Amino acid sequence: MNPFIASIASLAAAATGVVPAAPIEAAAEGTAAPVRIALEIHVENSIDPPAEMRTVADMARAATRHGIDLTFSLDETMLRYLATAPAALKLQLARWEANGHSFGLHAGMDGLSTVAAEAHLAAMVADFTAAFRHAPTTVSGACTGDSDWISPVIDNGLTVVAGTITYCEHSLDPTAYAGSALEAEVLRSQARCTSPGRCHDPAPASDDTQRVIPWTTSDAATWLTPDAGGAVTIVSTLGSTSMECGSEGRAGSCAFDATGDAAAFVSLTGEARMAGGGSSATTLHMAWSTNNRPERAYVEELFTAIAGSISAAGPVEWTTLAGLAA
C-alpha cells in the first residue's frame, strides 16, 4: 500500500477503533478504479465582467455537450457583479448548475491576517449567496501566508480548499515535520515563500501521490498532515500549468494549441492514475485561469479532443470540487 494512503487508513482506524477489512483504495481485482477529474476554472480576469461571463458561457456550454463537469471559482469582483446581476443572468447560473457544473470562490487572501481573511471570505460568501441563492462550499486562493487561514474557511461554512501551492506551506509549524519526508520542503517554504508569485508550485511539491489523493484537515499549522476528523478537504494539483500551456509544459505566455493541450491533459490523467496507485480516491485537479481569455473555437476543439481520448488509458469520472467534500 502506498505510504500516504496507508497513513490515511491508519488515521481512520485510530479515530474509529476499526481496522478496515481490506485496503480502502484497492479496486476490484481485474478492474481499474476511475480517476476523478476536477477541472477548475479561475474566473479572475475581472476588468470586464460581462466579457468574463461570455467566457464562462462558452466553457459551460461546450463542456456540457461533452459530458464534462466544471467548477468555476469566482473572484471578489465577479461576485460583486453577479450579486446585483439581472434576474435573467442569475437564472442562467442556476441552469449551468443544473447541468452539472459548480461555482465557488477564488479568494486571493495572500498577506491577510486571520481576522481580515475571516471578513474577506464573509463578504464573498454574502455576494455569492445573493447571486446563486445558496451558500458556496468551495474555495481556492485561500492561503494567507503566516496567519491561520483554515479557521476562516471553516467559520464561513466552506468545506473544500483547492489548488494548495507551496506558498501555503508558510503557515506550517516546521517542528511538526521534523524528521519527516516533508521536512526539507517545509523548511524551504518557510525560508523563501513570502508570496504566491515566488512559490506557485502545487503542494506538497515532493509527493505526487499526496497531490492526487484529497485529505482532510482542521489546522493551518499542520494542514499537510491528513487528519481523519478534519473539517476541510484539501484538493491539491498534479500539473503546474494552466490548460493553454499544456503543450508547452510551462507557465507563461502560451499558444492556444487545442490538439496539443488536450493531449497534454490526457497524459496528465495517466500520470495521476500512476501516482494514485490504484486508489479509488485518485483525483486529478487542474486550475485553468481565464486571464488569457480563450476563444470559443479553442474551447470547443479542446473539449472535443479531450472527450474523445480521455478514457483510452482507463476509466475516468468527471466531478466538481463540491463533489469531493469528505
Domain range list for the chain: 32-324
Q: Give residue 251's pLDDT band: very low, low, confident or very high (50, 70, 90).
A: low
Over residues 302-306, mean pLDDT: 98
Task: Report residue 115 as a C-alpha cell.
Answer: 481576522
Over residues 282-308, mean pLDDT: 95
In this structure, CATH architecture of domain 32-324: Alpha-Beta Barrel (3.20)
CA 211, 215, 216, 219: dihedral to nearest 10 degrees? -40
Q: Give residue 22's pLDDT band: very low, low, confident or very high (50, 70, 90).
A: very low
Asked if residue 277 lies in contact with residue 2, where contact means CB atoms within 8 angstroms, the answer is: yes
Instruction: State the pairing for strand pair 102-106/35-43.
Output: unpaired
Which distant-in-sequence residues (6+ apart) come within 8 Å of 286 by Cβ?
38, 39, 40, 237, 238, 239, 243, 265, 268
Question: What pLDDT score does 110 carry?
Answer: 93
Q: Report the chain's mean pLDDT, rounded to a whole number.
A: 90
pTM of the model: 0.90
Question: What pLDDT score does 246 carry?
Answer: 86
Instruction: State the pairing for strand pair 102-106/70-74.
Output: parallel
Supply φ then ψ for residue 222, to 5 degrees: -135, 30
Closest CA to 99 of 72, 128, 129, 68: 68
pLDDT tens-digit readout, 84-102: 999 999 999 999 999 999 9
Question: What pLDDT score does 90 carry?
Answer: 97
Could you give the CA distance from residue 254 to residue 236 in angstroms, rounded to a whole number?
Answer: 23
User: pLDDT: is 230 or 291 the higher one?
Assistant: 230
Is the model's pLDDT at 25 over the cut of 50? no
Q: Give residue 4's pLDDT band: very low, low, confident or very high (50, 70, 90).
A: low
